[in-house]
Structure 1
Amino acid sequence: MPDHSSVPPIVQRVDNAPRGILMMLVAVFLFSILNVLVKVTAEDYPLTQVTFFRNAFALLPVWATVMAQGGFGSIRTARPMGHLWRSCVGLTSMTLMFWSFHLLPLADAVALNFAAPLFLTALSVPLLSEQVGVHRWSAVAVGFVGVLIIVRPSPDMLNLGAIVALGAALAQSFAMIAIRQLSTSETANSIVFYFTLTTTLLSALTLPFAWRTPDLWGFALLVATGLVGGTAQLFMTRAYTLAPAAVIAPFNYASIVWAALFGWTLWYEVPDLHVVAGAAVVVASGCYILHRETLKHRAVVSGAAGED
Structure 2
Amino acid sequence: MLFSAFCFALMGAFTHSLKETFDWRITGFARAFINFLFVLLLALWTKQPLIFRAPSSLWYRSIVGSLSILCTFYVFANLPLAEATSLTNLVPIWMALIIAFVANQSVPRSVLVSILCGIAGVYFIQQPHFDQGNFAVVVGIVQALFAAIAVYNLHRTKGIHPTTVVAHFTGVASVITFVVMLPSLPELMDGAKYTLPVIGGLVGIGLTGTVAQLAMTRAYMLGNPAQNSTVGLAQVAFATVFDIVIWDRSFSLETVAGILLITVPTTFFVARIQLRNRAQAV
* TM, length-normalised to structure 1: 0.75
Shift of 1:155: 8.4
| Distance in structure 2 (CA, Å) of the matches to 1:199 and 1:147 | 28
Q: For structure 1, which segment, 269-278 or 125-134, has the greater mean C-alpha deviation from structure 2 after superposition?
A: 125-134
The answer to whether the aligner puts 1:281 opposite 2:261 as a matched pair is: yes
Which residue of structure 2 aligns with residue 163 of structure 1? 138
Q: Name whichever structure is richer in helix by fraction.
A: 2
| Distance in structure 2 (CA, Å) of the matches to 1:226 and 1:122 | 31
| Distance in structure 1 (CA, Å) of the matches to 2:128 and 2:102 | 30
Shift of 1:195: 0.7
Shift of 1:243: 6.7
On the 8 A contact 1:34/1:225 being kept in 2, the answer is yes
- Select 1:55's aligned residue among 10, 32, 52: 32
- Select 1:83's aligned residue among 58, 79, 83: 58
Which residue of structure 1 aligns with residue 179 of structure 2? 205
The alignment partner of 2:87 has SS state of helix
Q: Which one-letter code corresponds to 1:151 in the other structure?
A: Q
Q: Which one-letter code corresponds to 1:84 in the other structure?
A: W
Instruction: Note the 1:224-239 alignment, pairs <5 A.
Output: 224-239=204-219
For each residue in 1:119-156, what CA deviation from the matched residue of structure 2 results, as whole angstroms up to 9, or x when unmatched? 22223333454554333333333333333333359987
CA gap of 1:96–1:208, structure 2 versus 1, over 3 A, is closer
Shift of 1:177: 2.9
Q: Which one-letter code corresponds to 1:193 in the other structure?
A: A
The alignment partner of 2:22 has SS state of coil
| Paired residues, number | 276
Which residue of structure 1 aligns with residue 233 of structure 2? 253
On the 8 A contact 1:49/1:207 being kept in 2, the answer is yes
| Distance in structure 1 (CA, Å) of the matches to 2:53 and 2:123 | 42
CA gap of 1:136–1:159, structure 2 versus 1, over 3 A, is closer
Instruction: Note the 1:12-23 alignment, pairs <5 A.
Output: none
| Distance in structure 1 (CA, Å) of the matches to 2:153 and 2:222 | 22
Shift of 1:26: 3.0
Shift of 1:295: 3.8
Shift of 1:229: 0.8
Q: Structure 1: which 5+ residue stretches go unaligned? A: 1-23, 303-308
- Select 1:196's aligned residue among 165, 170, 183: 170
| Distance in structure 2 (CA, Å) of the matches to 1:248 and 1:177 | 11
CA gap of 1:44–1:187, structure 2 versus 1, over 3 A, is same
- Select 1:98's aligned residue among 55, 73, 96: 73
| Distance in structure 1 (CA, Å) of the matches to 2:210 and 2:21 | 22
CA gap of 1:154–1:191, structure 2 versus 1, over 3 A, is closer
On the 8 A contact 1:27/1:233 being kept in 2, the answer is yes
Q: Which one-letter code corresponds to 1:143 in the other structure?
A: G
Which residue of structure 1 aligns with residue 124 of structure 2? 149
Q: For structure 1, which segment, 246-255 or 219-228, has the greater mean C-alpha deviation from structure 2 after superposition?
A: 246-255
On the 8 A contact 1:87/1:199 being kept in 2, the answer is yes
| Distance in structure 1 (CA, Å) of the matches to 2:36 and 2:129 | 43
Shift of 1:292: 3.1
Shift of 1:282: 2.1
| Distance in structure 2 (CA, Å) of the matches to 1:288 and 1:68 | 42
After superposition, the CA RMSD in angstroms is 3.3
Instruction: Note the 1:107-126 alignment, pairs <5 A.
Output: 107-126=82-101
Instruction: Note the 1:210-229 alignment, pairs <5 A.
Output: 210-211=184-185, 212-213=188-189, 214=191, 215-217=194-196, 218-229=198-209
Which residue of structure 2 aligns with residue 30 of structure 1? 7
Identity rate, percent: 24
On the 8 A contact 1:57/1:223 being kept in 2, the answer is yes
